[in-house]
C-alpha cells in the first residue's frame, strides 16, 4: 500500500472491518481494501476528486475525495448515509459488545439492541427469548457453553435497559470498542 491516504475501522454486527484507501495523485490510482483484501482498484484516473461507492457486508459505504487547496486532498467516509463519526456514535448506542475467551477460542459477542439479534464472531446466532421476573433473557450457545443476555430495567429513565452477558453463570464485562 504505497499510496495509503486514509484508514477507518467500521464497527458492524459481524465484526470491526478495517477500510484502507489508496489514492495516487500522480498516477490517478484509487484502491480500496477491506480487512486487508483488495476490493476495488482503478488505475490512470484523470479526475482526482469524486467518490467511490462500495459495500461492507450490508453497509453501504462512500469514500469522498475533495480538494483542500493546491494539490492536497481530503478524504471522508460515509456509512449508510451518515458521516463516519455519526455512524460510529449511532452504532455504539444500538450495539452492545462483549469479548471473551472460552475453551481456548476468542469470541466477540454483539447484541443489536434495535433488532435483538445476537452475533458471535460474525455469525448470527439462533436464540430463544424467555421472560423472567427481572425482565427478559435471550438464550444461545457459545460453542459448548450455555449463554444468555439478560435485559433488565435500570430503574432510571435516562439509563434505560441494562444488558448483561452471562456465560457459564458468570457475568462478562462489556468490551470498550
We report the CATH number of the domain holding residue 26 as 2.40.128.180
Cα–Cα distance between 42 and 28 in angstroms, integer?
8
> pLDDT of 125-167, one tens digit each?
999 999 998 889 999 999 999 999 999 988 888 878 899 999 9
Please name which of 115, 13, 94 lies closest in space to residue 59, comparing C-alpha atoms.
Answer: 13
164: CB partners within 8 A, 6+ apart? 149, 150, 152, 171, 172
* DSSP annotation string for 74-134: EEEEEETTEEHHHHHHHHHHHEEEEEEEETTEEEEEEEETTT--EEETTEEPP-EEEEETT
75 & 16 share domain: yes
Residue 18 confidence (pLDDT):
97
Q: Per the domain annotation, does 87 fall within a domain?
A: no
> pLDDT of 36-56, one tens digit each?
999 999 988 788 889 999 999
Q: Phi, psi at residue 78, to the nearest 5°?
A: -115, 140
What are 24's three cell numbers? 495516487
Q: E strand or H helix at 42, and its extent?
A: strand 37-42
Largest Cα–Cα separation, the chain: 65
Residue 165 confidence (pLDDT):
96
121 & 66 share domain: no
76 & 115 share domain: no
Please count the structural domains in the chain: 2
List the domain range (segments joined by +) for residue 163: 94-172
Residue 106 confidence (pLDDT):
93
> Among 80, 104, 130, which residue terminates a domain?
80
98 & 167 share domain: yes
Write down how long the chain is: 177
Amino acid at each position: 500500500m504505497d499510496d495509503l491516504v486514509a484508514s477507518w475501522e467500521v464497527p458492524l454486527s459481524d465484526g470491526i472491518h478495517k477500510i484502507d484507501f489508496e489514492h495516487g495523485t500522480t498516477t490517478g490510482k484509487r484502491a480500496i481494501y477491506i480487512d486487508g483484501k483488495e476490493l476495488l482498484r482503478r488505475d490512470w484516473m484523470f479526475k482526482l476528486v469524486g467518490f467511490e461507492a462500495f459495500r461492507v457486508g450490508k453497509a453501504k459505504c462512500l469514500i469522498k475525495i475533495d480538494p483542500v487547496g493546491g494539490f492536497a486532498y481530503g478524504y471522508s467516509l460515509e456509512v449508510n448515509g451518515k458521516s463516519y463519526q455519526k455512524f460510529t456514535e449511532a452504532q455504539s448506542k444500538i450495539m452492545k459488545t462483549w469479548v471473551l475467551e472460552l475453551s481456548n477460542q476468542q469470541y466477540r459477542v454483539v447484541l443489536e439492541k434495535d433488532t435483538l439479534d445476537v452475533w458471535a464472531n460474525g455469525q448470527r446466532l439462533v436464540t430463544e427469548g424467555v421472560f423472567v421476573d427481572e425482565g427478559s433473557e435471550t438464550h444461545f450457545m457459545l460453542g459448548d457453553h450455555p449463554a444468555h443476555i439478560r435485559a433488565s430495567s435500570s430503574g432510571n429513565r435516562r439509563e434505560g435497559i441494562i444488558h448483561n452477558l452471562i456465560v457459564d453463570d458468570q457475568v462478562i464485562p462489556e468490551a470498550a470498542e
